[in-house]
Amino acid sequence: MPVISTPQAFNQDDLYVDLEAIIGHRMFLKCEGFNFAGSIKLKAAAEMVEAAERDGRLNSDSILVESSSGNLGVALSMIAASKGYRFVCVTDARCNLPTRLLMEALGSQIHIITEPAPDGGLLAARINHVRALCASDDRYVWLNQYSNPHNHMAHYRTTAPAIARHFPDLDVLFVGAGTTGTLMGCARYFRDWHRPVHIVAIDSEGSVTFGDTPGRRMIPGLGTSVRPPLLDDSYVDEVIHVNEADTIRTCHQLARRGFVFGGSTGTVVSGASQWLARHSGRRQQPTAVAIAPDLGERYLETIYQTNWVQDLYGDDVLDPQAVAAHSPATRAPVA
């Protein structure tokens, strides 16, 4: 049995769910939520903190600060508590209440941004606030997940090799795009691999990451209002945008089969199902893997709460027959 002395020392990296019976297409979902931080962001957080320590940027007086919609904030809160650092998370009102409470329980300070920046929305406003904190006190250390190369290197070293070990015949990989750390790390690894893998980025409608028109996004995790500096489009073969209503229906569809995942996973599974439906006429089914960044408990008051969903998306989104019958594989692909 594993025995650990720090919470970041444990991560279940080899769990997959066969979704064929649920979505109607052969696909394996890599579950990244089984660690003490509850998400894939633990990998990037640990890598960035350790790099800052090696570079001498962190000392006993340092105050870690980061902009996060939730999961990275939790991971950094946990690591900061373990290592004895102070941590300030700059987030906005879309961050789930359970996530904010968890960060506070871990001893972190939360700054909630309510007014978007004229150019770049809430994300730009969060980053501006982080920069202002750093300018006010040189004890603040901003890891900057949006441009820190150790964000994507964490997945180049761990996530992608884990997939390659279990699926040596991998044909297509579906990865959600937020900071694009996971996407870039996996895409770079498989570009260097011994055989081609088709990389499909899954993004939210209203995200500007791949040049689309900005729009309302209420589900944290994927999508941005400022193009991530880490993104290199040349490593991405295809992009699929998913409407948040489809994200919610997919989350509820998975929950009806006993799997409660977060909004990012619902988006990834919905987009992946669209792609697989579009390519279902192939003589041989591709070996497909999608990455599930987190689990769904922190979303119980939002995407799994009827009033929240109906207020934002209308009464028909959670119609019982629609959820039961909804299979992303049968829906028209997003252009």
- Please list the rounded mean pLDDT of every run of 10 residues in the chain (335 residues): 91 96 96 97 97 95 94 97 97 92 97 90 93 96 96 98 97 97 98 94 96 90 91 97 96 97 97 94 85 96 94 86 50 37
Pairing label, strands 109-113, 172-176:
unpaired
Instruction: Give, for 207, the enclosing helix (H) or strand (E).
Output: none
- Provide the pLDDT for residue 322: 52
Q: CB neighbours of 179 closer than 8 A, spacing ≥ 6? A: 145, 146, 151, 224, 228, 230
Q: At what angle do helices 71-83 and 97-105 cross, to 10 degrees?
A: 10
> In 10 A of CB 26, how many CB atoms?
13
Residue 63: both structure tokens together: 């105050």
Beta-bridge partner residues of 86: 63
Radius of gyration of the chain (CA): 19
CB 226 within 8 A of CB 293: no
pLDDT at 323: 55
**Angle of CA points 67, 71, 74, to nearest 5°:** 85
Whether the CB-CB separation of 220 and 94 falls below 8 Å is answered with yes
Q: How far apart are CA 294 and CA 240, in angstroms?
A: 20
